[in-house]
């Protein structure tokens, strides 16, 4: 199963989460600015983005990328993850609804969020979700 881990991180919290997911998958995590593949070529994709502004996806780089690939998510396994510093997780719930409406299956049933940086337990859980995403 071809699997990608794609993320955007401003402070490094979501990057650390992406690296844990990628470790579970057995691949490398790629920042959204460095991703050059075609989403259509992947069976499973983990996307990571923290909450920004008024609980939205990062709008300068990640949101335009994600909006541009949504039409290719139908039938794929998708994992969502990210960190936040305020709010109640509304950005993740909105993101989950978008992905489900796109016809993708969310691994774990919902996105995985942490407050600020992920602790060792949370990083371990992310590794396990990465394994599940990759079908291991």
* pLDDT the model gives residue 86: 79
The residues near 1 (Cβ < 8 Å, ≥ 6 apart) are: 43, 44, 134, 135
DSSP category for residue 104 = P
CB count within 10 Å of CB 43 equals: 14
- State whether the Cα torsion 121-93-25-52 is positive or negative: negative
Q: How far apart are CA 33 and CA 70, in angstroms?
A: 17
Q: Is the pLDDT of residue 109 over 90?
A: no
**46-102 pLDDT per residue, tens:** 999 999 987 889 999 999 999 999 999 999 999 999 999 877 888 999 999 999 999
* Distance from the Cα of residue 60 to its chain's centroid: 17
Encoded tokens for 34: 């460095």
* pLDDT the model gives residue 56: 87
Query: Which residue matches tokens 């394994």?
Result: 131
Q: Is the pLDDT of residue 1 over 90?
A: no
Superfamily name with CATH number, domain 3-133 = Flavodoxin domain (3.40.50.360)
* pLDDT the model gives residue 132: 96
DSSP category for residue 70 = G
**2-44 pLDDT per residue, tens:** 999 999 999 999 999 999 999 999 999 999 999 999 999 999 9
Q: How far apart are CA 86 and CA 103, in angstroms?
A: 29
């Amino acid at each position: 199963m071809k699997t990608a881990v794609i993320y955007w991180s401003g402070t490094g919290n979501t990057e650390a989460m992406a690296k844990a997911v990628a470790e579970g998958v057995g691949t490398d995590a790629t920042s959204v600015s460095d991703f050059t593949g075609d989403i259509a070529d992947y069976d499973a994709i983990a996307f990571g983005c923290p909450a920004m502004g008024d609980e939205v996806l990062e709008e300068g780089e990640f949101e335009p990328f994600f909006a541009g690939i949504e039409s290719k998510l139908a039938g794929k396994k998708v994992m969502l993850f990210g960190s936040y510093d305020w709010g109640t997780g509304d950005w993740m719930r909105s993101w989950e609804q978008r992905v489900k409406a796109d016809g993708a299956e969310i691994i774990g049933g919902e996105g995985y969020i942490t407050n600020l940086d992920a602790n060792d337990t949370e990083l371990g859980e992310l590794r396990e979700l990465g394994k599940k995403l990759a079908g291991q």
